[in-house]
Homo-oligomer: A and B are copies of this chain.
Amino acid sequence: MYCGTKMDEALMNRGDRPKVAESGKATPQEFPDCPSPLARVGRRASALHDHLASVILRGDLAAGNPLPSERELMRQFGVSRSVVRETIIALANQGLLKTRSGYRPVVSRPDYDSVLGSMDQLMAHLITQEEGVKNLFDSRIFFEAALARWAALNARKEHIQDLEQKLLRNRKSIGVRTAFEATDIAFHDVLYAIPHNPLYPAIHRAYVEWLRKPWSCIESTEEIDFMMYGGHEAISKAIIARDPDLAEEALRRHLNTAWEFVRSNFDFRTGNTRNKSL
């Protein structure tokens, strides 16, 4: 039993309102706007959360900057550490903050990537069944087919050049697993980039992330790589030929082939590659 005199924190008086700047310590870093009585309705944590979220999202707190420490925040907003803590956790879960033990939380303004990234965990579980992976993969085929069609109709010459460059690199990396995977992704990424909508590349990255495990069960022999490359080449040619139907069909064929590999080699229960020869 302590009841000792040592006090760790929470030294500010609460009787009425948190007095501002009561000690001579001189608040190290003041906060953008808010002396902020912090609306008294509902959960305090929610109020603080909304406030900080809007501060971050409005850009008042630039990404990369650290947040004040938890102790500092409780002083500035006149709430307990529990509330500050809840808030930070929630913000971190949303991708607005990155927390490392021992460091102050770091602001990270969310872009489309982190928005999609917030679905990672849930998506990971939704694809523990074949149904889930299939739905996801299907949606990718669907979306990318539309992209191929769009590319065939709207690609500019710089896109075409990009496409050819990525195709070449892909060819050169046949047989080298990691390199081939990377150039494969880079090739597909061109399709997502052509419409100039920043959402699409983010969607691509999300697909790659979510389908990483199923995808990685596709073996990487020289033959298979070559076949995959062939698919890319066909897509590329159709796009260059400005033939949307052909482009879509080539892409569907390509990804359907990939799906067949996944379906036969991927163990949907364990999430690993099935050792079918065993």
Query: Is there contact, CB below 8 Å, between A121 and B146?
Result: no
Contact A116/B118 with A146-B145, A200-B139 known, Cβ cut-off 8 Å: no
A195 to chain B, nearest CB (A): 7
Write out the residue numbers on chain B whose beta carbons fall within 8 Å of the beta carbon of A215: none
Contact A94/B122 with A143-B146, A199-B135 known, Cβ cut-off 8 Å: yes
Write out the residue numbers on chain B whose beta carbons fall within 8 Å of the beta carbon of A125: 53-54, 57, 110
Query: Is there contact, CB below 8 Å, between A126 and B112?
Result: yes
Q: Number of copies of this chain in the oligomer? A: 2
What is the CA–CA distance of A114 and B119 in the complex, to the nearest angstrom? 9
The yes or no answer to A267 lying at the interface (CB within 8 A) is no
Write out the residue numbers on chain B whose beta carbons fall within 8 Å of the beta carbon of A2: 3
* Chain B residue with Cβ nearest A87: B89
Query: Is there contact, CB below 8 Å, between B114 and A122?
Result: yes
Contact A94/B112 with A43-B101, A86-B89, A135-B197 known, Cβ cut-off 8 Å: no
Chain B CB within 10 A, most for which of A54, A135, A198: A135
What are some 24 contacts across the A-B interface (CB < 8 A)? A2-B3, A3-B3, A53-B121, A53-B125, A54-B125, A57-B125, A82-B82, A82-B85, A89-B89, A93-B93, A93-B94, A94-B121, A94-B122, A110-B126, A112-B126, A118-B119, A118-B122, A135-B197, A135-B198, A136-B199, A139-B197, A142-B146, A142-B195, A142-B197
What is the CA–CA distance of A85 and B82 in the complex, to the nearest angstrom? 10
Write out the residue numbers on chain B whose beta carbons fall within 8 Å of the beta carbon of A93: 90, 93-94
- A65-113 at interface with B (beta carbon < 8 Å): 82, 85-86, 89-90, 93-96, 101, 110, 112
Query: Is there contact, CB below 8 Å, between A123 and B119?
Result: no
- A113-157 at interface with B (beta carbon < 8 Å): 114-116, 118-119, 121-123, 125-126, 128, 135-136, 138-139, 142-143, 145-146, 149-150
Of the candidates B57, B89, B145, which one forms a contact with A90 in the assembled complex, judged by CB atoms under 8 Å apart?
Answer: B89
What is the CA–CA distance of A212 and B150 in the complex, to the nearest angstrom? 27
A98 to chain B, nearest CB (A): 14
The yes or no answer to A1 lying at the interface (CB within 8 A) is yes
* Chain B residue with Cβ nearest A96: B122
A241 to chain B, nearest CB (A): 18
Write out the residue numbers on chain B whose beta carbons fall within 8 Å of the beta carbon of A142: 146, 150, 195, 197
A214 to chain B, nearest CB (A): 16
**Nearest 10 CB-CB pairings of A with B:** A146-B146, A3-B3, A57-B125, A115-B122, A93-B93, A139-B199, A135-B199, A115-B119, A110-B122, A135-B197
What is the CA–CA distance of A195 and B135 in the complex, to the nearest angstrom? 10
Write out the residue numbers on chain B whose beta carbons fall within 8 Å of the beta carbon of A145: 146
